Amino acid sequence: MQPIQTLDDFFTRSGADISLFHMGRRVTACSRETLRAFEGSEQAWPEPWKHQARLGIVFRLGDMPEPAIWFLALPIDEQGMLSPAQRDAFINRLLETLGRNVANVGSGALEQKQTADVDHLMKDNPLAFTPEITFQAMLHAQATLTLEAPASQHLEPVEAYLSGQQNIDWQALGLQGFADYTARLDNDTANTLAQRISHFPVSVLQTLCHCLEHRPLSESLVNALCERGEQAASEGDLETLCACVRAIGSTASISAGAWYTSLLNDRAACGPDLFAAIAGRGWLLLEDAERLPLFLQRLAEDSRANFSAVVKDIALIPRLRLPVMMALRDASTGSAVQQRLNAMLPRT
């Protein structure tokens, strides 16, 4: 029998029930095939963040009464491929902790005394990280939905408030309720929500937006968020504007893209916060032959923006890598983009 060399090997050999989630740019389901191909050096990580492949692993081994959750940040190289040294060290520690006989368990369960050690594997683990609180809430919401487990007790009051069915003190609403609501959002509920977006207090809107950014939205909801974002821009409320920009970032629709283009054409709206919102959550909307060069142009023109860092960040995303390189190559001589690129070159 072949030795266990990858995380996918371990979970396959141990017979674990497992659900994988991207935890870098947003919280979305990750297929086993994606992890397998990434660990096999067959493909770059699709949603890199801070030069890492951030992964949430929800699994149950043997007789574990509740699923365990691991948050692992696997280092990647300049091509977005796995840098395996730390992953290999973690697997060795994993096998030592649970016992070498894990390699021979086949589809059977691990001994209960071994599974008790699983939670301790994250202590002093260089690959472990703690996601920000909204990411944790969205992971819990999506995992319970995937596992067909009940939502949290916070969902019902959030539903009642956002639908307008009850006049609840919004300050008593829990973040987990917003996450559960977002994960379970269907088109009918989204259309109802769209009609109420304009009435929410800023704090409620921002919390809702931070959850919505992890999933595609209905057209009606996108339009409502664009309108609320425009209102925030007119009032000089940059934080709410960026929250709305981020909220629609996972929705590759014409109206979402049109709003991004409109904002990028408005020099007064452009700035480091807007660039970060678009690059961090709305990168799907940069897959556009006109919008991407415009984004790079505005980024280069703003002396406050870290052009090099943002470009390197989005160029690590496999589906943007070639378009970014081509846009940089095609930048006109003397343009702000060309000047920024020249400044990035090593001085001789």
Structure confidence at residue 344 (pLDDT):
84
Structure confidence at residue 116 (pLDDT):
53
Structure confidence at residue 2 (pLDDT):
81
Structure confidence at residue 99 (pLDDT):
63
Decide the pairing of beta strands 27-30 and 68-75: unpaired
Structure confidence at residue 309 (pLDDT):
96
How does DSSP assign 36-77, residue by residue?
HHHHTTSS--SS--SSEEEEEEEEE-TT-SS-EEEEEEEEB-
Taking the domains of the chain in order of start, what are their residue ranges?
7-122, 185-344
Structure confidence at residue 97 (pLDDT):
79
Q: What's the angle, vertex CA 133, arms to CA 132 and CA 136, rounded to 5?
A: 90
Structure confidence at residue 180 (pLDDT):
98
User: Which sign does the torsion angle of CA 65, 67, 70, 76 carry?
Assistant: positive
Look up residue 100 and give its two tokens. Answer: 């070498």
Q: How far apart are CA 21 and CA 31, in angstroms?
A: 8
Structure confidence at residue 111 (pLDDT):
45
pLDDT along the chain (348 residues), means of 10: 89 92 97 97 97 96 85 96 96 80 46 55 86 98 95 96 89 96 96 96 98 97 98 97 98 96 95 97 97 98 96 96 97 94 78
Question: How many helices (H) and strands (E) in the chain?
Answer: 17, 4
Structure confidence at residue 117 (pLDDT):
62
